[in-house]
């Protein structure tokens, strides 16, 4: 079993839609390389930009 990590030590990315940084989540463990959006809302709105 892997050792526990602190939240500050988790990998992070920047959301392609909103531009905000987001951290690794357990549910993305197997697919982290393909995660591009911080939330379902950003994934749905990927074609339109608020800016």
pLDDT tens profile 1-18: 567 778 778 899 999 999
Q: Which two tokens stand for residue 48?
A: 């339109």
Q: Is the pTM of this model over 0.85?
A: no
Domain count within the chain: 1
pLDDT at 49 over 60: no
* Residue ranges making up the domain that contains 16: 1-30
Does 37 fall in a domain?
no
Q: Which residues contact 50 (CB under 8 A, 6 or more apart)?
A: 18
Q: What is the 3-state secondary structure (H, E, C) of the chain?
A: CCCCCCHHHCCEEECCCCCCEEECCHHHCCCHHHCCCCCHHHHHCCCCCCC
Does 6 fall in a domain?
yes
pLDDT at 50 over 80: no
């Amino acid at each position: 079993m892997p050792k526990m990590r602190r939240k500050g030590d988790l990998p992070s990315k920047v959301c392609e839609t909103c531009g905000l940084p987001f951290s690794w989540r357990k549910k993305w463990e197997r697919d982290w390389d393909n995660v591009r959006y911080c939330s379902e809302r950003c994934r749905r709105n990927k074609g339109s930009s608020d800016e």
